[in-house]
Structure formats: C-alpha cells, structure tokens
Amino acid sequence: MRPDRNNVSALPYGSMSLEQIQEGVSAEAVSYAAGLLVEAIRNYESNSVSAQKLKLTLTEAQMIAANLIANASSRLDDKTLEEQVARVRKAIKEVKP
C-alpha cells in the first residue's frame, strides 16, 4: 500500500508497518530502474544501431527491457550477488545519519 502522491497526508507512514513501507520503497525502486532501462533503450545510439532509426515504440522498448531483466536474472551467480550486496550496503551506510 503506497501513500497517495497527490495527497501525502492521505496515508501517513505512521499508520504503516515497516514491512509495508519497505515493500513500497522496493517496488518504487525497481519500477524506477526499469523505467531508466526503457529510456536507455529508446535513446540507444551506436555506430551501427539507432533506436530512432529503428523507430522503436514504447511497447517494444518495454518488452526489450523485460527480456534484458529476465536475461540478467537467469545469469545471477554468487559473485554477482555478493558484489551487489557489498555495493548496496556501502551506499546505505554512506547515507545513514
């Protein structure tokens, strides 16, 4: 359950459990990252491939992003997970007061 963005006071965080807040933040972060990937695909330019010349639609870019995420998920291994855990924990420590 996420607070209403147009009326922040509609559902104060004080009425939510820590688990509900974490789930909302997690979903928001994943959605944001996926959106960044979609935009990167839509704006992709190299010497041999141009998203504009290919006239990629939003739907196509979203489907490509989903495929890339699925591909990355299937290649997850111990080393990658350990590196990412270390990276995320370091970032969290840097922003904690």
The mean per-residue pLDDT over the stretch 31-59 comes to 96
Q: How far apart are CA 86 and CA 97, in angstroms?
A: 19
Q: Say if pTM beats, i.e. exceeds, 0.75.
A: no
96 φ/ψ sector (left φ>0, alpha ψ -120 to 50, else beta):
beta
Instruction: Work out how many domains the chain is built from and give that number.
Output: 1
- pLDDT of the residue at 3: 44
Q: Is residue 70 part of a domain?
A: yes
Reduced to 3 states (helix: H, G, I; strand: E, B; else coil), residue 45 is: strand
Contact 29, 2 (CB under 8 A): no
Q: Is residue 1 part of a domain?
A: no
Structure tokens at 83: 């590196």
Q: Is residue 80 part of a domain?
A: yes
Quote the domain boundaries for residue 20.
Answer: 8-95
Q: How confident is the model at residue 83 (pLDDT cuts 50, 70, 90)?
A: very high
Q: How confident is the model at residue 8 (pLDDT cuts 50, 70, 90)?
A: very low
Q: How confident is the model at residue 25 (pLDDT cuts 50, 70, 90)?
A: confident
Contact 59, 53 (CB under 8 A): no
Q: Is residue 87 part of a domain?
A: yes
What percent of the chain clears pLDDT 70, i.e. is strictly above it? 79
